[in-house]
Amino acid sequence: MGNDHTKTSKRKDEHISICLQEDVQADGISNGLEQWRFKHNPLPNIDFQDIDLPTMIFNKKVATPLLISSMTGGTELASRINQQLAIAAEERGWSLALGSMRAAIENEELAYSFQMRKFAPTIPIIANVGLVQLNYGVTNDQCLRLVELSEADALVFHMNSMQEVFQPEGDTNFADLLRKLETVIKETDIPIGVKEVGWGIDGETAKALQNIGVQFIDVAGAGGTSWSQVERYRTSSKIQYAAASSFADWGLSTADSIREVSAEASECLILGSGGLHTGVDAAKAIALGAHVAGFGRTLLQYAVQSIDDQSLSIPQLMSPKELSLLQHMEKIEYELKVAMFGIGAETITQLKKHDRLIRQ
């Protein structure tokens, strides 16, 4: 594939720097979770110490229903970030989704940046590749090989049409991908899922995905990082640059995505992500219908800050963090448990679709 892997790696490092140093938050749309509030229960009738978070994901029991969402890979800096995330995920009992592994397809020598099993031997790990790559020469076998390379428990295909159309080197042929995805699913027993990257998934699409055998869906709703805004900082096209701001509020909010997907694809494992920052956000996502709550860019900032290597060119954060990565993750868990305590939910099963979550 020529110098494709060099271009991909360069893009990955640019994405990291932009996400850490620029304002790439969706503008004009929120994740929708602020529209929902828990009705406080002053007499929860449970002991806080008895609140239980363990969850089964891909036939593995983990300590929490929390996920480190797909972010990066394919470069030395990305590898170090993934190591920090994997170590923390293993210690805290979170699941881990890897960033796009396209770089490892183009050059298998870059697979090391995704090989995190040695740092996280027990937790669920999700391999990841762009669905559109099935229209650009990537084979089913190459996709499934990514699971082997990363010793992952599942494979997610990310759907990022609105990112690709703003990307200077974007792949924009999204025709016939549902059928092609179905052929991948029929060739393997590996759990296959799909995810958006920040614009959400609607119920109609979720139902179509479930019908072809997709086993899990990460809604990755609008209200967090906007990849049209990320690519805006990379493009040399004045047209793309100017047009990107018109799409800063594009997409279906995380809250609405979770509700639609849980209603139309009830057989799928639902991962609720997109602009989540706190354990209260996680509690709301689960109460709306998600099985797992995912966190992305907010954890990236803590992971980068925890890297201590003078040989690496590490982007400076816009605002340094007071807590460590592990402390921040523990804070999220504590907030989730306090929210459950506040409504009298002792288990994640009791939290899911809880009637004390009301729309404002």
Q: Which amino acid is at 244?
A: A
- Give me 236's structure tokens: 């040399």
* Alpha-carbon gap, residue 94 to 340, rounded angstroms: 18
The radius of gyration computed from the CA coordinates of the chain, to the nearest angstrom, equals 19
Residues annotated in a binding site: 11-12, 69-72, 100-102, 128, 163-164, 195, 225
> Binding site for Mg(2+): what residues are annotated?
164
Which residues, 6 or more positions from 279, have their beta carbon under 8 angstroms from its beta carbon? Answer: 331, 332, 333, 334, 335, 336, 337, 338, 339
Distances from the Cα of 209 to the Cα of 124, 201, 203, 216, 217, angstroms: 22, 10, 10, 9, 9
Which residues are documented as binding site for substrate? 11-12, 100-102, 163
CA 206/CA 59 separation, integer angstroms: 22
> Residues at the annotated binding site for FMN?
69-72, 100, 128, 195, 225
d(CA 227, CA 337): 32
Report which residue type is found at 184: V
Angle between helices 297-305 and 4-21 (to 10 degrees): 90
Q: Are strands 154-158 and 125-130 parallel, antiparallel or unpaired?
A: parallel
